[in-house]
């Protein structure tokens, strides 16, 4: 039997175990956060709806035997919404939000690295990546793109943990910064928590994924933006903590580095 992998971490807020080595580009203010060229929009629709969504649906179901719980809550929501999810899979985190609701397109807020690979940047944007801007001027354009997508009725997925910890069964602490987007727009918020179970009768040890949808949570219009964002953060965080307790298979062990040093 393959020995269980252990990852030792020092800082749950900033440690990243994605295993990628990408030369990250700068995202300027004139980056095409929204591209309204007719040919681009037509090509994006064909790629996203005609090819990628059907393929990733099959891939996710076969590899992870993934299923949603509570998806009707999101599908009943009219108009745009923000979805906050735990960041625990490389391909799964890119794909699962895109198969939540076939009636609308999903966009994902990413780091600049997602659009930094030459030759695939345009494809990644077509699939819904909206990279964080690198400048204060660009931040305003970036937020306008989020506002536009929300007004169109799309979902915007955010990974507030920021860094990938593959198959981590807990919820790491995260800041309220990204919750200012729905607080400013008055948009509904949903929590997407992926939990892990052991597969039965499988040739691989990769966990089975169960995806819980909770919400909607709404920003309090009586509170200042910062406080409304913090309140949303607390609701989502507590919800995720409860859902994460349903994980019953630790494919990779995560332990604080202090434990390793204490054993020496």
Q: What is the pLDDT of residues 183-222, one digit of tens each?
A: 999 999 999 999 999 988 776 788 999 999 999 999 999 9
Rounded distance, CA 248 to CA 244, Å? 9
pLDDT of amino acid 236 = 98
Q: What is the pTM of this model?
A: 0.93
pLDDT of amino acid 22 = 64
Please check whether residue 92 is in contact with residue 235, taking contact to mean a CB–CB distance below 8 angstroms. no
DSSP type of residue 257: H
pLDDT of amino acid 110 = 92
DSSP type of residue 82: E
Please check whether residue 12 is in contact with residue 170, taking contact to mean a CB–CB distance below 8 angstroms. no
Domain spanning 30-250: CATH 3.40.1130 = yes
Of the candidates 235, 58, 215, 65, the one whose C-alpha atom is nearest the C-alpha of residue 160 is 235
pLDDT of amino acid 20 = 63
- Percent pLDDT > 70 in the chain is 95
Rounded distance, CA 262 to CA 188, Å? 45
- Mean pLDDT over 57-82 rounds to 95
Here the tokens at position 181 are 């987007």
Q: pLDDT for 75-113, tens place per residue? A: 999 999 999 999 999 889 999 999 999 999 999 999 888
Q: How many CB atoms lie within 10 A of CB 214?
A: 21
The H or E element containing residue 9 is: strand 5-9
- Mean pLDDT over 49-61 rounds to 94
- Mean pLDDT over 29-56 rounds to 93
Of the candidates 185, 195, 194, the one whose C-alpha atom is nearest the C-alpha of residue 232 is 185
- Mean pLDDT over 220-228 rounds to 97
- Percent pLDDT > 90 in the chain is 75
Maximum pairwise Cα distance, the chain? 62
Here the tokens at position 5 are 């992998």
Q: pLDDT for 4-29, tens place per residue? A: 899 999 998 889 887 666 667 788 88
Given CA atoms 239, 245, 248, 251 in this order, what sign does their dihedral have? positive
Split at pLDDT 50, 70, 90, the class of 235 is: very high
Split at pLDDT 50, 70, 90, the class of 258 is: confident
pLDDT of amino acid 23 = 65
One-letter-per-residue 3-state SS of the chain:
CCCCEEEEECCCCCCCCCCCCCCCCCCCCCCCCCCCCHHHHHHHHHHHHHHHHHHHHHHHHHHHCCEEECHHHHHCCCCCEEEEECCCCHHHHHHHHHHCCCCCCEEEEECHHHHCCCCCHHHHHHCCEEECCCCHHHHHHHHHHHHHHHHCCCEEEECCCCCCCCCCCCCCCCCCHHHHHHHHHCCCEEEEEEEEECCCCCCCCCCEEEEEEEEEECCCCCCCHHHHHHHHHHHHHHHHHHHHCCCCCCCEEEEEHHHHHHCC
| pLDDT above 60: residue 264 | no
Q: pLDDT for 134-159, tens place per residue? A: 888 999 999 999 999 999 999 999 99
Residue ranges per domain, the chain?
30-250
pLDDT of amino acid 18 = 76
pLDDT of amino acid 262 = 62
pLDDT of amino acid 1 = 53
pLDDT of amino acid 211 = 98
Mean pLDDT of the chain: 92
pLDDT of amino acid 120 = 80
Cα 210 versus chain centre, distance:
15
């Amino acid at each position: 039997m393959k020995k269980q992998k252990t990852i030792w971490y020092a800082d749950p807020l900033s440690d990243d175990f994605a295993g990628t080595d990408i030369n990250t580009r700068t995202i300027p203010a004139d980056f095409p956060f929204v591209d309204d060229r007719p040919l681009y929009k037509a090509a994006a629709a064909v790629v996203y709806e005609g090819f990628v969504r059907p393929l990733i649906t099959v891939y996710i179901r076969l590899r992870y035997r993934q299923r949603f719980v509570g998806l009707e809550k999101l599908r009943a929501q009219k108009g745009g919404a923000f979805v906050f999810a735990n960041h625990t899979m490389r391909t799964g985190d890119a794909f699962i939000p895109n198969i939540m609701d076939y009636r609308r397109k999903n966009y994902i807020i990413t780091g600049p690295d997602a659009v930094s690979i030459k030759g695939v940047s345009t494809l990644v944007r077509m699939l819904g990546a909206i990279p964080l801007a690198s400048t204060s001027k660009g931040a305003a354009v970036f937020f306008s793109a989020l506002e536009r997508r929300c007004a169109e009725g799309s979902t915007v997925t955010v990974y507030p943990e920021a860094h990938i910890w593959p198959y981590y069964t807990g919820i790491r602490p995260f800041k309220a910064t990204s919750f200012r987007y729905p607080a400013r727009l008055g948009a509904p918020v949903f929590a997407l928590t992926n939990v892990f179970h052991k597969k039965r009768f499988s040739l691989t040890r990769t966990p089975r994924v169960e995806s819980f949808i909770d919400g909607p949570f709404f920003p309090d219009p009586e509170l200042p933006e910062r406080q409304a964002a913090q309140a949303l953060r607390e609701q989502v965080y507590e919800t995720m903590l409860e859902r994460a307790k349903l994980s019953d298979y630790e494919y990779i062990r995560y332990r604080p580095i202090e434990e390793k040093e204490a054993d020496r």
